[in-house]
Amino acid sequence: MRIALDAMGGDYAPEPNITGAIVALQADPALNVVLVGPQDLLEAQVEASGYNGDRLSIVHASQVVGMEEKPTDAMRQKPDSSISVCWKLMAAREVDAVVSAGNTGAVVASGLKTRLFLKSVKRPGIAVTLPTSAGHAVLMDVGANPSARPSHLYQYAVMGEIYAREVLRIESPKIGLINIGSEDVKGNDLYRDTYRLLNEGPLKDSFIGNVEGRGLYQGEADVLICEGFVGNVVLKVSEGMADFLMKEASRQIISSLDVERDKAKLAFHEMGKRFRYHETGGAPLLGIDGICIICHGSSDAHSITNALKGSAMFKDRGINSQIAEHLAQKPVA
CB count in 10 Å sphere of residue 262: 10
Cβ–Cβ < 8 Å for 81, 61: yes
| Res. 255: pLDDT tops 70 | no
Q: CA–CA separation, 327 vs 320, rounded Å?
A: 11
Q: What is the pLDDT of residues 120-133, one digit of tens each?
A: 999 999 999 999 99
Amino acid at 204: K
Q: CA–CA separation, 125 vs 287, rounded Å?
A: 7
The CATH number that domain 1-121+287-317 falls under is 3.40.718.10
Q: CA–CA separation, 189 vs 133, rounded Å?
A: 31
Q: Give the pLDDT mean for 318-322.
A: 96
Q: In CATH terms, are 1-121+287-317 and 122-279 the same topology?
A: yes
Helix 150-166 crosses helix 319-329 at what angle (to 10 degrees)?
140
Q: Give the pLDDT mean for 311-324.
A: 95
CB count in 10 Å sphere of residue 192: 16
Cβ–Cβ < 8 Å for 285, 144: yes
| Res. 247: pLDDT tops 80 | no
Q: What is the pLDDT of residues 164-205, one digit of tens each?
A: 999 999 999 999 999 999 998 999 999 999 999 999 999 999
What is the dihedral sign for C-alpha 190, 196, 197, 199?
Answer: positive
Per-domain residue ranges for the chain? 1-121+287-317, 122-279
Our measurement of the distance from residue 233's CA atom to the centroid of its chain's CA atoms, rounded to an integer in Å, reads 15
| Res. 234: pLDDT tops 80 | yes
Residue 245: predicted pLDDT: 74
Q: CA–CA separation, 188 vs 191, rounded Å?
A: 6
Fold of 122-279: Isopropylmalate Dehydrogenase (3.40.718)
Geometric angle at alpha carbon 94, from 64 and 79, rounded to 5°: 30
Residue 277: predicted pLDDT: 47
Rg of the chain taking only CA atoms, in angstroms:
20
* Helix extents (H) in 122-177: 150-166
